[in-house]
């Protein structure tokens, strides 16, 4: 059964529950609204409606007009539909600030019996009869219903998918021909019918398809019909399987996936977080399938369970009310419940050993970010085998998702700025899912602490950092400077200056101003870092001011002047800044040379060697006269 740490399925902590259930005659579940109706009869009919949020609970009474066979609210709890007879459905208005009204609607088809009904909108409803379907619009102002469309077809049973507003009708004697209908904004569309392939059974026995064998659900945004297929014990493979049929809005339905259950017995199906969850009754275990984990070179994907079977994590409800004792342990209660199933990701980490497959699995789940980052940390901290190839695979999978998000964001931005997003084809801003692990996430939660580990080889640390940088470059994501800084600090810390020089020479570490500044700070430890920094700034071409500042900070005034002349910027530089530094060197001849250069510039630009008042060079003119005499000042040439 597995330890508690291995339970990857659990029940949410707030079940829908009803106390004092002894007087409840019937309980109905409305899948579209995720509501449970507890109906109590006797005199007036009392109804309590509960959903996943206690704030949405509703309690009311209605006249007792017979046994309730089905009861559902329309979307938003605006209109209540109640079926008591095979021929009609009663309607009661719950529209806020609107006069109360009630009405009843009989099915139009003669001799037909209503099998059930489905709300497709707040005021649109479908009756499913044994002779077809009838699509109605509720008209509150007229306190009546209007028939929008109907379709005659023999119906055995039906199934409804509220997410897509698609109804499946089972037709033919064996029930395995399914006719889907789609509903949207007052329209009903007949989709292509399809046949469920039943297993072969020995003659003269016949096998019929029932609603217990079928489930419909949206998986990764696509509508699927799931068929629980039980094979005959006389076959070579008697184990049950789940066959998935994809049902597109347009085009024919096709069989796409087979989920191997590897056992027999009674099963139940759920879809949670785009995972197909299959519950096995006799063993009380559940297994999960991810249809995105495709098998290579196979037209029809055949899937084994992603994880070994485990029981759902047990849940006990604490006692409440006057009978509760603080030290009393939680106990099971005799209550009606509606449970919400959810997947716990942390236990899956140890159950799925293939790290590449684990990443594929986690990247498609909700709330996966911190689990993925913990897997990366564990992988790098020696807890797993596989080394650098496994690390590379994981990084590549993460950065592919990261790149897809960046591209979608860029496309949205360009479309918005150009105005092409206006109109009917307006783009929606891409949603940053929890699966997007960016450089900041990886740096903060994994690489920064990993680079400081004392019990790990520095060569492996550097290799991992370079592998992450390689992976980013491979999908053309600009590497942030703080990742390069991690690499450089590791190289300097272990005196790997030759490797640092090579990384910079062959542009393994991309040029940036922050990186150039970091190299400057390393000059006392590694003197060539100064020239490496200048070379990088020159390559950037947009960093001329920074290069001048760097050279002046080292009192290399002539070098700064030569550089700024080489790039043609000497007519715009500040004379005072250069004269300040030249004077600080206490080298009088250097000061003379720089002073003379700016006199010549003034003469060339303005026809006079004198400095303008706005240049604030008066103190330097005074100093020049004191050292070299007034006669040394350049004279204005008169023609």
Instruction: Please spell the DSSP secondary structure of 587-618, one letter per residue.
Output: -HHHHHHHHHHHHHHHHHHHS--SPPGGG--H
Q: What is the pLDDT of residue 335?
A: 39
More confident position, 84 or 512: 84
Residue 428: pLDDT above 80? no
Q: What percent of the chain has pLDDT over 70?
A: 88
CA distance 450 to 392: 16
Look at the block and give the residue holding tokens 């949020």: 53
531-556: b (≥16 Cβ within 10 Å) or e: ebbbbbbbebeebbebbbebbbeeeb
pLDDT digits (tens, 9 = 90+) for 445-496: 999 999 998 888 999 999 999 999 999 999 999 999 899 999 999 999 999 9
Look at residue 333 in the predicted model and tell me its pLDDT: 39
DSSP string, 438-490: -HHHHIIIIIHHHTT-SSS-HHHHHHHHHHHHHHHHHTTPPPPHHHHHHHHHH
Q: Which of 603, 510, 499, 513 is nearest to 549 (CA)?
A: 513
Kind of pairing between the strands at 254-260 and 301-303: parallel
Return the higher-pLDDT residue of 177 and 527.
177
Least confident interval from 25-34, 117-126, 223-232, 277-286 = 25-34
Comparing CA positions, the residue from 478, 480, 483, 482 lying closest to residue 465 is: 483
> Once rounded to an integer, what is the mean pLDDT over residues 368-376?
94
pLDDT for residue 100:
92
Q: What is the DSSP letter of 310?
A: B
pLDDT confidence of residue 546: 79
In 164-179, which positions are buried (b, 16+ CB within 10 angstroms) versus exposed (e)? Answer: bbbbbbbbeeebbbbb
452 token code pair: 């400081």
Lowest-confidence pick of 181-190, 271-280, 472-481, 512-521: 512-521
Identify the CA nearest to 528 among candidates 565, 564, 497, 571. Answer: 497
What pLDDT, on a 0 to 100 scale, did the predictor assign at position 20? 60
**CA dist., res. 609 & res. 632, Å (int):** 12
Rounded to whole angstroms, the Cα distance separating 298 from 142 reads 57
Q: Distance (Å, rounded) from C-alpha 184 to C-alpha 149? A: 13
* pTM for this model (two decimals): 0.79
237: left (phi over 0), alpha (psi -120 to 50) or beta: beta
Q: Residue 570 above 80 pLDDT?
A: yes
pLDDT of 338 strictly over 80: no
Specify whether the CB–CB gap between 227 and 242 falls below 8 A: yes
pLDDT value of position 536 = 84
Beta bridge partners of 173: none
Task: State the pLDDT at residue 296.
Answer: 64
How many helices (H) and strands (E) would you count in the chain? 16, 29
Integer Rg of the chain from CA:
38
Determine the straight-line distance between the first and last CA of the chain, rounded to whole angstroms.
105
- As a whole number of angstroms, the distance between CA 243 and CA 308 comes to 20
The stretch 590-618 carries a mean pLDDT of 92
Q: According to the model, what pLDDT value does residue 518 have?
A: 81
Confidence check: pLDDT of 326 > 60? no
Q: Where are the domains of the chain?
A: 158-200+209-314, 544-638
Query: Is the pLDDT score of 426 beyond 80?
Result: no
What is the 3 state secondary structure string of 149-164? EEEECCCCEEEEECCC
| pLDDT at res. 298 | 61
Q: Phi/psi class of residue 284: alpha, beta or left (left: φ > 0; alpha: ψ in -120 to 50)?
A: left
The neighbouring-strand residues paired with 224 are: 217, 246
Instruction: Give the pLDDT band of residue 339 (cuts 50, 70, 90).
Output: low
In this predicted structure, what is the pLDDT of residue 321? 47
pLDDT (0 to 100) of residue 555: 86
User: Residue 618: is it exposed, middle or buried by C-beta count within 10 angstroms (0-12/13-18/19+)?
Assistant: exposed
- Pairs from 253-256 (Cβ < 8 Å, separation ≥ 24): 253/180, 253/192, 253/194, 253/225, 255/197, 255/300, 256/224, 256/291, 256/300, 256/301
Nearest to 35 by CA among 18, 62, 16: 16
Q: Per-residue confidence at 324, pLDDT binned at 50, 70, 90? A: very low
Give the pLDDT band (50/70/90) at residue 47. very high
Q: How far apart are the C-alpha atoms of 637 and 639, rounded to whole Å?
A: 7
pLDDT value at residue 334: 39
Alpha carbon 418 to its chain centroid, in Å, reads 27
Per-residue model confidence (pLDDT) at position 21: 59
Structure tokens at 264: 């027999």
- The secondary structure of residue 372, as a DSSP letter, is H
Q: Residue length, the chain? A: 639
* pLDDT in the model for residue 401: 94
333-347 average pLDDT score: 69
Question: Does residue 509 contact residue 503 with C-beta atoms inside 8 Å?
Answer: yes
Mean pLDDT value across residues 312-328: 57
User: Would you call the peptide bond into 204 cis, given omega within 30 degrees of 0 as the criterion?
Assistant: yes
**Residue 249 confidence (pLDDT):** 84
Mean pLDDT of 328-333: 50
Residues whose CB is less than 8 angstroms from the CB of residue 316 and which lie 6 or more positions away in sequence, other chains included = 329, 330, 331, 332
Confidence check: pLDDT of 220 > 70? yes
């Amino acid at each position: 059964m597995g330890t508690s740490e291995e339970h990857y399925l659990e029940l949410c902590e707030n079940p829908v529950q009803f106390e004092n259930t002894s007087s409840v005659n019937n309980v109905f579940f409305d899948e579209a609204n995720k509501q449970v109706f507890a109906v109590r009869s006797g005199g007036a009919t009392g109804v309590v409606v509960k959903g996943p949020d206690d704030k949405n609970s509703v309690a009311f009474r209605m006249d007792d007009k017979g046994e309730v066979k089905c009861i559902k609210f329309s979307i938003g709890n605006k209109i209540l539909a109640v079926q008591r007879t095979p021929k009609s459905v009663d309607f009661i208005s719950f529209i806020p600030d609107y006069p109360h009204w009630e009405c009843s609607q009989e099915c139009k088809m003669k001799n037909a019996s209503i099998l059930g009904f489905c709300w497709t909108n707040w005021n649109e409803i479908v009756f499913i009869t044994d002779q077809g379907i009838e699509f109605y619009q509720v008209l509150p102002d007229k306190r009546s219903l209007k028939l929008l469309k109907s379709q005659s077809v023999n119906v055995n049973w039906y199934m409804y998918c509220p997410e897509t507003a698609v109804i499946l009708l089972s037709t033919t004697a064996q029930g395995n021909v399914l006719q889907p209908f789609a509903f949207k904004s007052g329209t009903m569309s007949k989709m292509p019918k399809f046949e469920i392939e039943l297993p072969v059974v020995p003659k003269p026995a016949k096998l019929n398809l029932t609603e217990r064998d079928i489930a419909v659900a949206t998986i990764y945004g696509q509508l699927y019909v799931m068929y629980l297929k039980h094979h005959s014990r006389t076959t070579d493979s008697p184990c049950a399987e789940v066959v998935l049929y994809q049902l597109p809005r347009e085009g024919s339905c096709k069989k796409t996936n087979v989920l191997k259950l590897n056992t027999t017995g009674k099963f139940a199906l759920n879809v949670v977080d785009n995972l197909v969850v299959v519950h096995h009754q006799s063993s009380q275990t559940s297994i999960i399938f991810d249809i995105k984990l495709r098998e290579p070179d196979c037209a029809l994907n055949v899937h084994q369970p992603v994880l070994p079977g485990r029981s759902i994590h047990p849940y006990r409800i604490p006692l409440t009310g006057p009978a509760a004792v603080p030290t009393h342990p939680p106990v099971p209660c005799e209550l009606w419940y509606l449970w919400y199933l959810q997947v716990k990701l942390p236990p899956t980490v140890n159950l799925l050993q293939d790290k590449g497959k684990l990443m594929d699995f986690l990247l498609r789940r909700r709330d996966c970010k911190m689990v993925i980052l913990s897997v990366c940390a564990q992988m790098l901290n020696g807890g797993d085998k596989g080394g650098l190839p496994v690390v590379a695979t994981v990084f590549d999978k993460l950065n592919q998702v990261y790149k897809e998000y960046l591209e979608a964001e860029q496309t949205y931005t360009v479309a918005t700025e150009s105005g092409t997003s206006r109109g009917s084809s307006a783009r929606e801003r891409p949603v940053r899912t929890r699966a997007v692990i960016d450089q900041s996430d990886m740096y903060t939660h994994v690489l920064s602490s990993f680079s400081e580990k004392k019990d790990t080889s520095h060569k492996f640390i550097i290799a991992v950092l370079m592998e992450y940088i390689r992976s980013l470059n491979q999908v053309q994501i600009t590497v942030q400077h703080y990742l390069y800084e991690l690499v450089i600090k590791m190289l300097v810390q272990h005196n790997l200056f030759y490797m640092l020089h090579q990384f910079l020479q062959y542009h393994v570490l991309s040029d940036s101003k922050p990186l150039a500044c970091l190299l400057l700070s390393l000059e006392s430890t590694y003197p060539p870092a100064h020239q490496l920094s200048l070379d990088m700034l020159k390559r950037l071409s947009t960093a001329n001011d920074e290069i001048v500042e760097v050279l002046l900070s080292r009192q290399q005034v002539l070098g700064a002047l030569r550089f700024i002349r080489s790039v043609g910027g000497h007519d715009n530089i500040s004379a005072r800044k250069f004269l300040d530094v030249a004077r600080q060197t206490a080298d009088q001849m250097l000061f003379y040379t720089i002073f003379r250069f700016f006199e010549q510039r003034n003469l060339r630009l303005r026809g006079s060697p004198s400095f303008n008042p706005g240049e604030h060079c008066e103190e330097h003119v005074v100093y020049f006269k004191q050292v070299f005499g007034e006669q040394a000042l350049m004279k204005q040439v008169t023609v």
